[in-house]
Every structure is written in structure tokens, then in C-alpha cells.
Amino acid sequence: MIIENILWDLDGTITDPKFGIIRCIQYALEKFGKEIPPFEKLFWCIGPPLYESFPKLVPKASHEDVLTLVDLYRERFSDIGMYENEVYPGIPDLLSELQIKQKHYVATSKPHVFAKKILSHFNLSHYFSVVHGSELSGVRSDKGELIKFILENESLDPNKTIMIGDRKHDVIGAKKMGLKAIGITWGYGSADEHLEVGADFIFSTPQDLGKFLNPNN
């Protein structure tokens, strides 16, 4: 396979957003008057869109309730939560190494306004041709819809484009649009999760991923 374009998930793939995301979810639930789950019980919320996670956390929530919870989450996230984050070791070196060979794009369910600020904060923006994410309204928070949008807007050939992500949503979205998918396990998804949804390749470290994407280095 000739790989000319790489789509990267953000949370759990490029950066570890654990503290920011979970603390903001706990903040939103507390403000909404709901019981706050323990920190370690919320790891599953890292990756899926908030519009999917909050209905599971508050099963009887109406659509309006979910919108309120998302707004409460963003109250804290926009000022504090997005920076309670860290870049995975080895990622900057990998991006620098691969930048010569392929074009790189961010494909995140996170709103692009936040994704751009996070990448700028960690001095990673220059590695990516474009940063794509959802709208604040939730439009394109589904990974398949987002990938479709990126392929069309960037005029990318699906046969020469691959998706990299740590959760099943990344693999499912890629498959839906005819892309090969790489599942990585240094984030919040397991090898079993990736295998169940048909990941083409699975890597456990940025170094192993780099050997695959740039075998001649």
C-alpha cells in the first residue's frame, strides 16, 4: 500500500487528555446535580463524542439535558481542561520523521477550535496540513462523517490514505469510508477492541508505528 496521507486522531493518540476530560465531565455532572463517578470509572469517556457519553452517564437525560451537560463541560474545558493534557513520548519525533514522506491531517471528534489550540499549545501545529474536527454543535462528531468530510474537502485518495487512532470509533469510521485503519494501544483502546472492528494493523508504541510507516529509515 502506498501511503500518501495520514489522518490522526488526537485524544489518546497524539496527546493524553485524561485529566482534563475526566475532570470536566465530573464538573459537568456535579453542576447538573448528578452523582460523580470515581475518576478511574470514566476512562471509557476518552475518545467517544460527548454527545454519546453523557446519555450513558445520565440515562434519562433529554436531548436538552445533554446539550446543557456539554455546555457545562466546556465551561471548565475551554479555560482549564484542554491544557490538563500531555503529549505522548515519541510522538513529536515520529511526526518530524514522517513529515517528509506523507501529508498529515488531524481527524478528531473534538471541536476543531479546541483541537487547534491544544496542538498550538504543545507546538505540534506545524506537523499538520489541516486540523479537522467537529463543530461545537456536534456536527461531524461521528468519525465516519468527519473522515468523509476530510476526504472530500482535501481531495484525498482513500486508497492512499490511512487512519490512526486509539479507539474503535476511529477504525469503524475509516472502514466506513474505505480506508485502511491502524489501531494503537498506547492510548485508551485495547488490541481486542481494534480487532473486533477490523483494524488492519495494530501497534503498541510510536516507535513500532514509525517502522511500519517509514520502513527505510
Instruction: Return the beta strands (E) in the chain as ranges.
Output: 5-8, 15-16, 86-87, 103-111, 130-134, 161-165, 180-184, 201-203
Return the SS3 of 53. Answer: helix
Active site residue 9: yes
Mean pLDDT throughout 161-172? 97
CA atoms lying within 13 Å on the CB side of residue 91: 24
- In the structure grid, which three cell numbers stand for residue 194, read together? 481494534
Report how far Cα 15 is from the mean position of its chain's Cα atoms. Answer: 9
How many other CB atoms sit within 10 Å of the CB of residue 105?
22
Percentage above 70 pLDDT, the chain: 100
- Measure the CA–CA gap between 39 and 54, rounded to whole angstroms: 15
Residue showing cell 471548565: 76
The pLDDT value given to residue 217? 66
The pLDDT value given to residue 92? 98
Contact 143, 169 (CB under 8 A): yes
Contact 51, 28 (CB under 8 A): no
- pLDDT over 90 at 199, yes or no: yes
The pLDDT value given to residue 47? 85
Mind listing the domains of the chain with CATH numbers? 5-16+87-213 (3.40.50.1000), 18-83 (1.10.150.240)
Q: What's the Cα-to-Cα distance from 172 to each of 37, 133, 161, 183, 196, rounded to whole Å? A: 28, 17, 15, 11, 10
